[in-house]
Amino acid sequence: MRLFGVILAGGDARRMGGQDKALLRLGGKNLLSYVLARLEPQVERLAISANGDAARFGGEVTVLPDQTRQGPLSGVLAALDWAAPLGATAVACVAVDTPFFPADLVPQLCLAAERSSGGVAVAASGGVDHPTFALWPVDLRADLRLFLASGAKPRVMDFARMHAAERAVFADENAFLNVNTPEDLTTAAAMIGGPG
C-alpha cells in the first residue's frame, strides 16, 4: 500500500478574524509546521490543500487548489486527483488547525480501513468523529466527484458512511484540539507550555 497525505488548509477561519490558520504562530512556529512534522513520517508524500497564493507556504510542499469550493471534500478530491497518477493507493487527510493529532494516526486509520468494505476510515475520540482525519482510497475519485456534483450538502461523514467507513478510535481527546478561536490558541499554547 502506498499512502500519501494531504493537509486540509482551505477553511475561511472566520472565528480567527479571517487569518490564515496554517500560518498562526504557536510556541514560535506556525501551525503548519507542527502538522507537517506529525504527518510527514507517516506517509510517502504529502501536499497541502489550500486556495490563494501558494507562495505563502514557502514552496517546499505541493499546494493543491480546490476545483470547486465545497468544503473539506473538495480538498480530498484535489488530493486524490494528485495522488492517483503518482501511484498512491490511498490518501490520509488531516486538518491544519489540529497540531497535536496522534503520531500513529495513519497506521491506526489503515488498520480500521481493513475492516471497511470501502477501505475508508475516520478518526474518533471520546465518542466524537473527526472526519477531517480520514483515509480515502484513490479509487473513490469518481464517486466523490459525483457526490460533490449532486447538489447535496457535501458533508464528509455522509460520504464516509456511503463507503462503509470504520472508526479508528483514539484515547486522547486532546489530540484533536482544533484551533478555531483565539481562546483555542491560548489553550494550545498552554499544552506546549509556552506563549502562543
Three-state SS at 117: coil
- Residue 58: the pLDDT is 82
Nine-digit cell string for 86: 503518482
Question: What is the CATH code of the structural domain delimited by 3-190?
Answer: 3.90.550.10
Please, which pLDDT band fits residue 16 given cuts at 50, 70 and 90? very low
- Identify the helix (H) or strand (E) that includes residue 75: helix 72-83
Cα–Cα dist 154/141, whole Å: 14
Nearest to 71 by CA among 11, 116, 157: 11
Predicted confidence (pLDDT) per residue in 96-134, tens digit: 999 999 999 999 999 999 999 999 999 999 999 999 999
Greatest distance between any 2 Cα atoms in the chain: 46
With cell 492517483, the residue in question is 84
* Residue 144 scores a pLDDT above 90: yes
Predicted confidence (pLDDT) per residue in 154-163, tens digit: 899 999 999 9
* Residue 171 scores a pLDDT above 80: yes
Contact of 49 with 64, CB cutoff 8 Å: yes
| Average pLDDT score over the chain | 90
Over residues 183-190, the mean pLDDT reads 85
Contact of 23 with 34, CB cutoff 8 Å: no
**Overall residue count recorded for the chain in this entry:** 196
- Residue 97: the pLDDT is 93
Q: Indicate the range of 56-60, 90-94, 99-103, 168-172 predicted with least confidence.
A: 56-60
Q: 47 vs 1, which has greater pLDDT? A: 47
- Residue 18: the pLDDT is 60
Q: 174 vs 89, which has greater pLDDT? A: 89
- Residue 196: the pLDDT is 47
The CA-based angle 24-154-170, given to 5 degrees, is 60
- Residue 14: the pLDDT is 53
